[in-house]
């Protein structure tokens, strides 16, 4: 049991310090981990502990994935869609994933080659603003006009989430 505890602490430590570097300079990932109590570890089976570690690993992967999706979206805030309406005013629209709505779930798979499956769920928000000129759009107030639920399924193969 002591070895499993050490592996868990080392894995969490490595991922905590390595992930911001791998994320590519975007908004830092805020992580919070509950204290690992050796008494809690003793009462759980090896299988349960392993699943909990995979869930933590998937959560880190999912947070970096959400940052990547926000950064690369075709209509992110820096690349917002601007259209001129028939009345001469301008409409700006961009998309952004709401980090606070992100949830993850990991379960074992029955497949021999894919031991785990992770599900990432989040809500994508659509923001819009109207202005009389194109220049005023950057100073305008954007409001959420639509919320799009999303779900992605990932598999754990050969030591990485895909």
Query: For each of the chain's 162 residues, which pLDDT tens digit applies?
Result: 444 545 454 454 444 444 444 444 444 555 555 555 555 555 667 878 888 899 999 999 999 999 999 999 999 988 999 999 999 999 999 999 998 999 999 999 888 888 999 999 999 999 999 999 888 887 889 999 999 999 999 999 988 899
Please report the pLDDT score of residue 148 as a whole number: 96
Token couple for 41: 């570890």
pTM of the model as a whole: 0.68
3-state DSSP call for residue 155?
A: strand
Strands in 37-115 per DSSP E:
81-84, 90-108
DSSP character at residue 36 = -
Distance CA 10, CA 69 (A): 28
Domain count, the chain: 1
Do 53 and 8 touch, CB atoms closer than 8 A?
yes
* Parent domain of 79: 2-161
């Amino acid at each position: 049991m002591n070895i499993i505890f050490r592996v868990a602490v080392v894995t969490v430590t490595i991922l905590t310090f390595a992930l911001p570097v791998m994320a590519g300079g975007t908004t830092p990932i805020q992580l919070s981990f509950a204290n690992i109590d050796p008494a809690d570890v003793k009462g759980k089976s090896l299988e349960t502990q392993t699943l909990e570690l995979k869930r933590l690993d998937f959560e880190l992967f999912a947070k970096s994935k959400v940052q990547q999706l926000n950064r690369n979206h075709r209509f992110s805030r820096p690349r917002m869609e601007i259209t001129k309406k028939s009345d001469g005013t301008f409409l700006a629209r961009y998309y952004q994933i709401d980090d606070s709505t992100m949830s993850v779930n990991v379960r074992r798979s029955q497949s021999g080659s894919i031991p785990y499956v992770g599900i990432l769920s989040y809500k994508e928000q659509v923001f819009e603003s109207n202005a009389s000129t194109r220049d005023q759009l950057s100073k305008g107030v954007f409001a959420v006009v639509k919320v799009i639920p999303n779900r992605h399924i990932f598999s754990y193969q050969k030591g990485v989430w895909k």
